[in-house]
Structure 1
Amino acid sequence: MTMVFRKRTRVDVARKMFLERISPIERTEKLSIEDARGRVTAEAIVSEIDVPDHRRAAMDGYAVRADDTTGASQSNPVLIREGARCVRVHTGSPMPQETDAVVMIEDTLPGVEIRSAVHPNKHVSLIGEDVAKGDTVFGVGHRLRGCDIAMLAMLGISHITVYERPTVAVIPTGSELVPRGKSTADGIRETNGLMVGLYVEKWGGIPIYRDIVVDDPDLIEKEILACQGYDAIILCGGTSVGARDYVPGAIESTGVLLVHGVALSPGKPTALGIVGDTRAHTHPTLNHDPNSNYTPTPVLSLPGYPVACLIALSEFGRPAVMRLGRIPAEPRPRLRARIGAKIASKIGYVTYTRVRVADGVAHPVMTSGAGILSSVTGSDGFVIIREELEGLDSGDPVDVVWIE
């Protein structure tokens, strides 16, 4: 049955409606720290040791007693004999017991002639100066960076408990599609699923690539039901209002269709839903209840045109995958520039314009053509025009959101 857009929903409203029905996953796993970069901590990391656990020299020079250098200067050097209270040290060397400061090598002359006075603990790394025993180094929900992994190693930690990555079924739909590597004589090579899966992986998920599903409502419903064991489902294509656009109806038949049609250009045919729990629509916090036996699965249905697919994925898929994986929200990388030409947009729609950036100017690559993937690969990023604006004038300041 052919569907019609019930309502054009604002992008921010649709996104909020979708995200509030998504529960971050609770599953955890223990990993070697070498494999934990980009993962999210499932337990607080509390240091069991002091770092450093002994006093050490912070400079090359001589470890001395500070009071032995009182009054030392370039014009009035102090001569100290090498011994227990004057020891040659290198950066990182343990401090000899009877010393409490380091005179830098450039402030000495052979002998040892001290030409600069120092105070206690000068150029000395103290016990616990970096991390003190009992310090909480990382809380629950921290996404680990390379420098964080180095800190774990410094603390003597070899394994860490993190949240599992969410699994996301990626389902390409369309009778016109052929698998990658096959001849395109009778159709269009499937690429949206690949693109979606790679971005899912970039945002912390595990893409599960499913076979192409032809334009058959029963087969689409069957595939959606078969994928309910994953943490989310993303379908590509079949989401508009044409005679063969069956995906929104399939979502409604297997769960709740929250939104069909968003005020996004390109990307209007996007659909959002929940399958596996028909109560999710009236009880948006149901899947946050740990005592509930229901396991609703969020479903995102993306347009078939590749540019529209990418833009809708960025608006809805990115925050959904990151929320599932407990990855802290982070702004998309952007650059301040000036638009290089006048751009028209439709009031009431969030409009994405592809641009190339040179010398602080964002030059529009193409202002229409949701099916022209080369307009994205030939761009640096997007200028996003807010829904209350009717275009931009040449020279207007803009934020360019990088594609990568």
Structure 2
Amino acid sequence: MKEMLQTVSIEEALSLLRAHFRPDPMPSTRMSIRDALGQTLAHDVLSGEDIPAYPRSTMDGYAVRAADTFGASPSNPVYLRLAGTVEMGQVPEEDIGEGVAMIVYTGGILPKGADAVVMIEHTTRWETGEVEIQRQVAPGENHVRAGADARRNEVALSAGTNIRSQEMGYLAALGILDVPVRLRPRVAIVSTGNEIVDADIHPNSGQMRDVNTWTLTSLVEECGGEPLATGIVHDDFDALSAVHRDCLREAQIVVISGGSSKGAHDVVADVIDQSGEPGVFVHGISMKPGKPVIIGVAKGKACFGLPGHPISAMLAFHIFVEPAIDLLLSRNRRRARTIQATLSTSIPSAPGRDDFVRVVIRENEGLLVADPVLGKSGLISLMVNSDGFVHVPAAREGFSPGETVEVKIW
């Protein structure tokens, strides 16, 4: 059995992964935006037009020349001649000249000559055909300029962008209905353990249902990959080697859960190491939970051995497997959802180790408070009953009650 390598930091493990795993990007294909949610752009997307094509009001009010309103106040109003109304969806035929105003609605096009909009709340309309302006406005106030959303022939969305709901709307606004995207990388998921049974089986004494296949395949999909679940493999070198060989042929990444720590039946490191060069280069990371993570490369494919405990496996997936998927997609790193919260109780931590502590977020007198959720990493309910986690860096010896901490939302 392969001995555990020296424990390394998270940063060192990621650096080694990037050094040894240098895949070509996944091939690209064109896809309707109807199916593009969660996909990754393979090439830059250029705008074919200015969006909006004309300056548009962001308020109901009066289109004016800002210079005509200078000095206006409730006690010293300015009076402008009302020249008509800009109808929604119509391009104004009249220009705004000196001393003139036109009614404009939210989203309406500004007439030529207008460079600001006075909110209707700051005006009074008189039967004489004049409008009383009770507040001055600056050039550019209460409207968006032409091309503020996108400029013709400029990059609207760059290659590597993960397409979310907002990108879907942006593409629709640009009139772009199909886009070049990367094919989803295939990620093989293997659960190991003599004690593991399928989720539809009632476990006997000493057995437990397979949780990791379901959590890890779901995470693969959330991260833009295509999961290939192989089922459960017993702690047997030959059996796991055969499955691993198949996975290396079919997938770009192989994730094996269970059998990553030292023990008589822990064969994952040996299987990965004997599958091709360079083999295993990380076996043990200074983090909790998730210390016995294995990282290797065989036949140009990234191979991971994750702990069998569900919480450890899920956390290790986010930290190590997701970046490997990003490399295959040439994807810009996805921004984690974070919030600031006040810690309700202390979080102790051993120096020299990165700790990840689950928390629940609650509101107290208008402030967000983070309550640590304590428990063993084998209890999947702790993930269900928590909102996110606090990362305690290796250089810290924990956090004290009342400290403001960053919470990464699941």
Letter in 1 for 2:92: M
Determine if the alignment matches structure 1 residue 401 to structure 2 residue 407. Answer: yes
Range with greater deviation from structure 2 (339-348 or 145-154): 339-348
User: What is the alpha-carbon distance in structure 2 between the residues aligned to residue 50 and residue 15 of structure 1?
Assistant: 41
Q: Residues 154 and 219 from structure 1, CA distance in 2 versus in 1: closer, same or farther, beyond 3 angstroms?
A: same
Look up the match of 2:318. Answer: 314
Look up the match of 2:259. Answer: 238
Map Cα deviations across residues 289-325 of structure 1 (whole Å, 9 max, x no partner): xxxxxxx100111011222222222221222223322
User: What is the alpha-carbon distance in structure 1 between the residues aligned to residue 357 and residue 93 of structure 2?
Assistant: 65
Letter in 2 for 1:39: Q
User: What is the alpha-carbon distance in structure 2 between the residues aligned to residue 190 and residue 91 of structure 1?
Assistant: 59
Map Cα deviations across residues 263-309 of structure 1 (whole Å, 9 max, x no partner): 12221211001111xxxxxxxxxxxxxxxxxxx10011101122222
Structure 2 spans left out of the alignment, 5+ residues = 105-119
> Counterparts of 1:21-36 in structure 2 under 5 Å?
21-23=21-23, 25-36=25-36
Map Cα deviations across residues 82-115 of structure 1 (whole Å, 9 max, x no partner): xxxx443234421115567752375544564344
Q: Residue 178 of structure 1: CA displacement?
A: 1.0
Q: Residues 164 and 8 from structure 1, CA distance in 2 versus in 1: closer, same or farther, beyond 3 angstroms?
A: same
Q: Residues 402 and 102 from structure 1, CA distance in 2 versus in 1: closer, same or farther, beyond 3 angstroms?
A: same
Determine if the alignment matches structure 1 residue 353 to structure 2 residue 361. Answer: no
Q: Residues 110 and 147 from structure 1, CA distance in 2 versus in 1: closer, same or farther, beyond 3 angstroms?
A: farther
Map Cα deviations across residues 16-41 of structure 1 (whole Å, 9 max, x no partner): 11133243623111111222233222
Q: Residue 62 of structure 1: CA displacement?
A: 7.9
Letter in 2 for 1:36: A
Look up the match of 1:334. Answer: 338
Look up the match of 1:96. Answer: 93
Pick the aligned partner of 2:305 from 301, 314, 319.
301
State the secondary structure of the residue aligned to 1:181: coil
Q: Residues 98 and 327 from structure 1, CA distance in 2 versus in 1: closer, same or farther, beyond 3 angstroms?
A: same
Pick the aligned partner of 1:249 from 270, 278, 298.
270
Pick the structure with more strand per residue.
Answer: 2
Q: Residues 60 and 102 from structure 1, CA distance in 2 versus in 1: closer, same or farther, beyond 3 angstroms?
A: farther
TM-score of the superposed pair, with normalisation by structure 2: 0.79
Range with greater deviation from structure 2 (23-32 or 156-165): 23-32
> Counterparts of 1:50-129 in structure 2 under 5 Å?
50-53=50-53, 86-96=83-93, 103-104=102-103, 106=120, 108-110=125-127, 112-116=129-133, 128=147
Letter in 2 for 1:41: L
Look up the match of 1:202. Answer: 222
> Contact conserved, 1:170 with 1:233, CA < 8 A, in 2?
yes
TM-score of the superposed pair, with normalisation by structure 1: 0.80
Look up the match of 2:116. Answer: none
Look up the match of 1:165. Answer: 184
User: What is the alpha-carbon distance in structure 1 between the residues aligned to residue 389 and residue 148 of structure 2?
Assistant: 45
Letter in 2 for 1:362: A
> Contact conserved, 1:58 with 1:92, CA < 8 A, in 2?
no
User: What is the alpha-carbon distance in structure 1 between the residues aligned to residue 275 and residue 139 of structure 2?
Assistant: 73
Pick the aligned partner of 1:362 from 343, 362, 370.
370
> Contact conserved, 2:160 with 2:329, CA < 8 A, in 1?
no
Look up the match of 1:83. Answer: none
> Contact conserved, 2:357 with 2:390, CA < 8 A, in 1?
yes
Map Cα deviations across residues 54-91 of structure 1 (whole Å, 9 max, x no partner): 6777766788999999xx999785667xxxxx443234
What is the percent sequence identity of the aligned residues? 28
State the secondary structure of the residue aligned to 1:353: strand
User: What is the alpha-carbon distance in structure 2 between the residues aligned to residue 315 and residue 373 of structure 1?
Assistant: 18
Look up the match of 1:267. Answer: 290
Look up the match of 1:219. Answer: 239
Q: Residues 67 and 194 from structure 1, CA distance in 2 versus in 1: closer, same or farther, beyond 3 angstroms?
A: closer
> Contact conserved, 1:28 with 1:42, CA < 8 A, in 2?
yes
> Contact conserved, 1:63 with 1:95, CA < 8 A, in 2?
no
> Contact conserved, 1:59 with 1:104, CA < 8 A, in 2?
no
Look up the match of 2:159. Answer: 140
> Contact conserved, 2:343 with 2:405, CA < 8 A, in 1?
no
User: What is the alpha-carbon distance in structure 1 between the residues aligned to residue 259 and residue 275 of structure 2?
Assistant: 16
User: What is the alpha-carbon distance in structure 1 between the residues aligned to residue 254 and residue 139 of structure 2?
Assistant: 63
User: What is the alpha-carbon distance in structure 2 between the residues aligned to residue 362 and residue 63 of structure 1?
Assistant: 48
User: What is the alpha-carbon distance in structure 2 between the residues aligned to residue 65 and residue 397 of structure 1?
Assistant: 51
Q: Residues 110 and 58 from structure 1, CA distance in 2 versus in 1: closer, same or farther, beyond 3 angstroms?
A: farther
Aligned-pair Cα RMSD in Å: 3.5
